Amino acid sequence: MGLRVTQNMLNSNMLRNLNKSMINLDKLQQQLSSGKKVSRPSEDPVIATRGMFYRTSLIENEQYLRNANIGHSWMEMSDKVMDEVGNIMKRVSELLIYSGNGGVSPQDLQAMGEEVAQLKKQLGNLANQTVNGRYIFNGTDTTTPPYDDTVGDFTSTNGSEIKLEVSQGVQVTINANGQRIFNYPDNANNIFKLLDNIINDLSSGNDATQYEDALNQQYDNLLAERASLGARVNRMELVMERLKDEEVNVTELLSKNEDADEAEVITRLKTQENIHRAALGAGARIIQPSLLDFLR
């Protein structure tokens, strides 16, 4: 015995199919207007989960890149300061050699002593160099100046490293150790004490050539510390390039995962519109004519 199809069944099926067609139209129109494949996680949990993972990766990568930029700024400033320190040592070395000239008068030697005193003050300013209000040569105590101008000496004893995380489980030391630069080989024989001895001898009208070897040792130590810093700068620059490449790669993956193909969506939308029109036309024929239609 065959199933009897009533008019109500035809009407219900037609409305249900039209509703499905309109849902498809709405979904495609939303994709086209938003540019995204899904607007709610329930539409495709896999895409939503991957999108969360990619966004988390981007946020982490951005923070690592900020850390790397901060560290690079510290290192660049430290390198510039060490370059200026080296220039001061070179000038003092020139004065030491010149002071051994037998034709130099005591007044000239005193003038040299005054110049060395000014160079020492500048060296103290360099030892107190800051980045964003933080002293870069005082270890982890970045709020206290390591050089005390009142006593004219490098009074800090903090040589701790400052490390920033620039990748998962990867930390890089960003500060130069002020103890190994300004307190070499120890506080009693550091560069400031050496300059004090030079100033005293020159101010007394005596030559200061006997300090050449000690000054050369200070300069050689400075070059070694600057070379060590340079190696870390190169590593940081490589890390920054990798982080930038990683940002591009993850952004591309996120786009492929979530962004809708505009040409494909438009094509599907036009197809769905034609289907919807056909469904409306078929439905108009299915609906039973009214009594007025028979009386015409």
Give the domain ranges of the chain.
75-254
Residues 23-40 have pLDDT tens digits of 787 776 887 878 888 888
The packing angle between helices 45-99 and 191-203, to 10°, is: 20
User: The tokens of 5 are what?
Assistant: 């199809």
For 52-83, the pLDDT digits (tens) are 999 999 999 999 999 999 999 999 999 999 99
Q: What is the pLDDT of residue 233?
A: 96
User: 0.85 cut: is pTM over it?
Assistant: no
- Per cent of the chain over pLDDT 70 is 92
> Which one is predicted more confidently, 138 or 10?
138
Q: Which two tokens stand for residue 27?
A: 């979904």
For residue 170, pLDDT over 90 is answered with yes
| Tens of pLDDT, residues 252-289 | 999 889 888 778 878 877 888 887 787 777 777 766 66
pLDDT averaged over every residue in the chain? 90
What does the pLDDT look like over 171-202, one tens digit per residue? 999 999 999 999 999 999 999 999 999 999 99
Q: Of 175, 224, 218, give the one whose Cα is nearest residue 77.
A: 175
Give the length of the chain: 296
Helices (H) and strands (E) in the chain, counts: 8, 6
Q: Check whether 228 has a pLDDT greater than 70.
A: yes
Task: Write out the CATH class of domain 75-254.
Answer: mainly alpha
